[in-house]
A and B are shown apart, each in its own frame.
Chain A
Amino acid sequence: MNLFAEAFAWLFSPERLEGQYALPVLLGQHLFYTVVSVLIAAAIAVPAGWAIGHTGRGREVAVAISGAARAVPSFGLMVLLVLLMGVLRVPEAATITFVLLAIPSLLAGAYTGLEAIDRRVIDAARATGMTQWQVFWKVEVPLGMPLLVGGLRAATLQVIATVTIAAYVNLGGLGWPIIQGIPLRRFDQVLGGAILVAVVALIADLLLALAQRMAVPAGIRVAKPGTVSRRAARRAAAATASTASA
């Protein structure tokens, strides 16, 4: 039997539904850490990114910080935090690691979304008499949404892939079969775990790709993907302006 057949045999064995390390339990842990980490990261990165995009200030700092954060090795950081915070704070240490991993993509998504808007659209919005908040909430946020969801998509994928290391510090998740299987040299189990992580990542990516498409405001949805043309942006501005004045 080849390794893939063995891995699927391992995945679909009834034993996988039993005990402390049943696959549904591990999947739940994996999704829990992913969702919590991405939400916390979003709560930090999205307002910060919007502030940078709206005011146009602090961009260099944000680029530098998020660039540096991308270079931090997650595994090393997690183990370091566990050592610093002690064995009773392991879930917090791991969550901080994943939050730091998710922040750069979300931050970039938030501020580039606002930056990419044609300045004339914003000028037009202002010219119709919109207040700062109205410009922000009714023009900048909707037009920046596709890139923000794109950032969310990148962050979520990175976190799903990286939560695999949570099993190393006793938090379970889909990394468990991998981390346990390597020293036992049970490669069917290792591959089975890896397949599960890949499947979860692909499903999440698909769902977020749909969300990204749906996040494009109606006014510019007719534009071909990837070519947010000036005409489309202008039309979007016109649409927003008309709803604002209505």
Chain B
Amino acid sequence: MFTARTSRLTLATGVALAGALVLAGCASSNPLDAPSDDTTGGDSDTVVIGSQAYYSNEIIAEIYAQALENAGHTVDRQFNIGQRDAYMPDVESGEIDLFPEYTGNLLQYFDDSSEATSPDDVYAALQEALPDGLTALDYAEASDQDTYTVTKEFAEANGLTTIADLADVDGTVTLGGAPELEQRPYGPAGAKSVYGLDLAFSATGDTTFDALLADEIQVADIYSADPRFQTEDIVALEDPESLILASNVVPIASSDVADEIADVINGISAELSVDDLVAMGVQSTVDQMSPEDIATEWLTEKGLI
């Protein structure tokens, strides 16, 4: 009897505690928010910022958010909204006012027949292809795009700095990447037509980096913002002929708020480099820092807030 009552008491206490915690969580969810007089998406005072479900993209969105808050705007963060197919309709309809995007990938989304590859050409083509109501602000030097990456050891042994130098490497050079790379314009066929290279192909997929270290492949397609560019001894080969579709970070804004926020956001694009993006990736994946802290640190360092 005694034990039964004790355990029932414990249970009751536990339930009460859990309930209290849940209630407390509700009450204190956003204590620092400005009083929200039902300001939803369309309100002109609030800038709604979205981000992909991708840590690097979320950090950039957080940078935009903090910089805009610092400039006196009210910001509504709608982060982690899946991939392009999921969020683009809301961006086009104006539900989301500002979204960090990537020039090349977004151009492919709106116009997959475009053959532009260099950063300027892609940006120009993107401005053409964007639907009415959306504006591309200045793009940043930072990119998150495919690369032809080799180990530093392999680059030194063969004197490689650009993709074209791969022509002088003895023996078979194998390019590894996602399965679809074989069919992309910057895959083996593109390397043949642009640089005259005869590359073998291996669909290494998720194990591309390990395959590169194991010398199963000599060239790996790794995204330029990958934190491993800082943590591992690998180097992306330069692409002077623009074989690879450039994909620079570009803020996509609703046209009705674009003018208002252009100064702040363009100021960020002017400073954001690919090395910054890689370093922020390391802070996120290795040091486990929160996007808020990473964004604040970067903005402070650059003197933007």
- Interface presence of B207 (CB below 8 A): yes
Comparing B148-156, B208-216, B292-300, the segment that makes contact with chain A is B208-216
- Interface presence of B196 (CB below 8 A): no
| Cα–Cα distance between A103 and B202 once the two chains are bound (Å) | 31
> Taking CB as reference atom, which chain B residue is nearest A175?
B179
> Taking CB as reference atom, which chain B residue is nearest A170?
B203
Known contacts A170-B202, A170-B203, A170-B205; A88/B179 CB under 8 A: no
Residue-wise, chain A 36-74 has the 8 Å CB interface mask toward B (1 for contact) of: 000000000000000000000000000000000000000
- Interface presence of B201 (CB below 8 A): yes
Minimum CB–CB distance for A180 against chain B, Å? 4
Minimum CB–CB distance for A120 against chain B, Å? 56
| Cα–Cα distance between A179 and B180 once the two chains are bound (Å) | 8
Q: Which residues of B contact A20 (CB under 8 A)?
A: 201
- Interface presence of A184 (CB below 8 A): yes
| Cα–Cα distance between A87 and B214 once the two chains are bound (Å) | 8
- Interface presence of A154 (CB below 8 A): no
Known contacts A20-B201, A170-B202; A87/B207 CB under 8 A: yes
* Contact in complex: A86, B214 (CB < 8 Å): yes
- Find residues 72-113 in chain A having any chain B CB closer than 8 Å to their own CB: 79, 82, 86-88, 90
* Contact in complex: B203, A87 (CB < 8 Å): no
* Contact in complex: B202, A184 (CB < 8 Å): no
* Contact in complex: B203, A86 (CB < 8 Å): no
Main secondary structure of the interface of A (DSSP, over half): helix
Q: Which residues of B contact A86 (CB under 8 A)?
A: 210, 214
- Interface presence of B183 (CB below 8 A): yes
- Interface presence of A25 (CB below 8 A): no
The size bracket of the interface on A is 10 to 19
- Interface presence of A226 (CB below 8 A): no
Residue-wise, chain A 167-188 has the 8 Å CB interface mask toward B (1 for contact) of: 1111000001001100110100
Q: Which residues of A contact B202 (CB under 8 A)?
A: 170
* Contact in complex: A87, B179 (CB < 8 Å): no
Minimum CB–CB distance for A71 against chain B, Å? 24
- Interface presence of A10 (CB below 8 A): no
> Taking CB as reference atom, which chain A residue is nearest B112?
A185
* Contact in complex: B180, A88 (CB < 8 Å): no
Q: Which residues of A contact B211 (CB under 8 A)?
A: 87
- Interface presence of B33 (CB below 8 A): no
- Interface presence of A21 (CB below 8 A): yes
* Contact in complex: A180, B182 (CB < 8 Å): yes
| Cα–Cα distance between A196 and B218 once the two chains are bound (Å) | 33
* Contact in complex: A88, B214 (CB < 8 Å): yes
Q: Which residues of B contact A170 (CB under 8 A)?
A: 202-205, 207
Minimum CB–CB distance for A81 against chain B, Å? 12
- Interface presence of B237 (CB below 8 A): no
* Contact in complex: B179, A180 (CB < 8 Å): yes
* Contact in complex: A180, B203 (CB < 8 Å): yes
* Contact in complex: A183, B178 (CB < 8 Å): yes
- Interface presence of B206 (CB below 8 A): yes
* Contact in complex: A167, B216 (CB < 8 Å): no
Known contacts A87-B216, A88-B214, A183-B178; A82/B207 CB under 8 A: yes
